[in-house]
């Protein structure tokens, strides 16, 4: 998923032909995933209450409020760098849906 190495720590816990589950851990404010483009639809489940800063490129940066356990869904093609905007360690679980709606990897 990442094309530019960031300082957040990814830990893949499931990786099969249907899903990839990764925990992203940000040890401190400013840790980031690195710039990347999502090749699959995905779901994110925050493991904290707080804020992530999303760098959308071309100088555009937004703050996204996270609530522990409340998931959100995004479709293929999203490009961004996700940054810890908190003064504490935080993490989220990302579930990539490796099969398309018609049941294959296309």
25-64 residue pLDDT tens? 999 999 999 999 999 999 999 999 999 999 999 989 999 9
- Percent of the chain exceeding pLDDT 70 equals 90
pLDDT at 99: 83
pTM: predicted TM-score of the whole model, two decimal places:
0.90
Place 104 in a pLDDT band, splitting at 50, 70 and 90: low
Contact of 55 with 35, CB cutoff 8 Å: yes
Tell me if 82 is assigned to some domain: yes
How many domains does one find in the chain? 1
Range of the domain at 83: 9-97
106 lies in a domain? no
Cβ 16 vs Cβ 65: under 8 Å = no
Dihedral sign for Cα atoms in the order 18, 77, 80, 42: negative
CATH number of residue 80's parent domain: 2.60.120.10
How many whole angstroms separate alpha carbon 27 and alpha carbon 11?
A: 13
Q: How many Å is the Cα radius of gyration of the chain?
A: 13
How many CA within 13 A on the CB side of residue 23?
Answer: 9
């Amino acid at each position: 998923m990442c094309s530019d190495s960031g300082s957040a720590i990814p830990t893949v816990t499931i990786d099969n032909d249907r899903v990839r589950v990764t925990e992203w851990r940000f040890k401190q404010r400013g840790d980031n995933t690195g710039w990347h483009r999502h090749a699959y639809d995905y779901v994110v489940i925050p493991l904290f209450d707080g804020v992530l800063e999303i760098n959308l490129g071309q100088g555009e940066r937004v703050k996204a409020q996270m609530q522990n356990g409340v998931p959100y869904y995004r479709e293929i093609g999203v490009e961004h760098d996700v940054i810890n905007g908190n003064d504490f360690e935080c993490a989220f679980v990302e579930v990539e849906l490796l099969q398309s709606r018609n049941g294959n990897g296309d």
